[in-house]
Amino acid sequence: MHSPQYRQAFTLMFVTAGCLFALSGCFGGLVLGYATLHDKDVSHKESLWGGYEPGATYEVLMDVFLEKKQGGTTKPVLTPPGEVYQVAGLYNAPDSVPAYNSNSDAWPEVVGIVEAGTRICTAEVRKRGALLWGSWVYVLAEILDGPNKGRIVDITDLSVFADEKHDDLILNKPDPRLLRKTD
């Protein structure tokens, strides 16, 4: 028969081994990913702006949706209707503005529509990532007109990949179907 100290040591060793095993699997990757998550302003690095210009004004060329936080950002997101990319529900956005207007309750993440002609000003480029997930950049802009004036939003979904990369980061540039530089 084993002593209580032996059983306690064995139990501690078993629990520790179980924890290490769990942390080495998917759960461990998730924990490690969130533990190393970073999000920082890199606006001072001109090379990370991609095809955007700091402080430039862009016009929104079609009605887009203003959505609550999604994905890798802490700000509201401007997303085009799904019909733009011919993929239903892309970015959790309705297929079209009429589809949203006919059943807005089906899209609780949509908090409004930013109308075509609205101006936005690029405010910040941020780098976000984690040890196991890699890093990416996203662009924030301030809405200059309309009912959402002054609101800071993520405009990544109104972007396409820029032609260049920087330190293996894929950069963004305005999607010419959705944004046009005005100044």
Domain map (residue ranges) of the chain: 4-35, 38-181
Top pLDDT among 54 and 88 is at 54
CB burial readout 145-182, b (16+ within 10 A) else e: eeebeebebbbbbbbeebeeebeebebbbbbeebbeee
What is residue 27's predicted lDDT score, i.e. its pLDDT? 52
The pair of structure tokens assigned to 150 is 């002054």
pTM passes above 0.85: no
Query: Do 163 and 170 touch, CB atoms closer than 8 A?
Result: no
50-64 tens-digit pLDDT: 999 999 999 999 999
Task: Lowest mean pLDDT of 4-13, 151-160, 168-177, name the range.
Answer: 4-13
What is residue 3's predicted lDDT score, i.e. its pLDDT? 44
The pair of structure tokens assigned to 120 is 């936005």
H helices of the chain, in order, are 4-24, 26-35, 82-85, 97-102
Which among 126, 135, 123, 125 is positioned nearest to 40, based on CA atoms?
A: 126
Top pLDDT among 183 and 158 is at 158
Top pLDDT among 93 and 120 is at 120
A 10 A CB-CB count for 40 gives: 10
What is residue 30's predicted lDDT score, i.e. its pLDDT? 46
Mean pLDDT of the chain: 79
Structure letter (DSSP) for residue 115 = P
What is residue 162's predicted lDDT score, i.e. its pLDDT? 81
Structure letter (DSSP) for residue 152 = E
Cα gap 122→120, rounded to integer Å: 7
Q: Once rounded to an integer, what is the mean pLDDT over residues 17-45?
A: 61
Which among 154, 119, 120, 121 is positioned nearest to 137, based on CA atoms?
A: 154
Helix (H) or strand (E) holding 40: strand 38-41
Cα gap 86→173, rounded to integer Å: 20
Query: Do 67 and 77 touch, CB atoms closer than 8 A?
Result: yes
Query: Do 161 and 153 touch, CB atoms closer than 8 A?
Result: no
Rounded (5°) CA angle 93-96-100: 70
Structure letter (DSSP) for residue 23 = H
Inform me whether the pLDDT recorded for 168 exceeds 60: yes
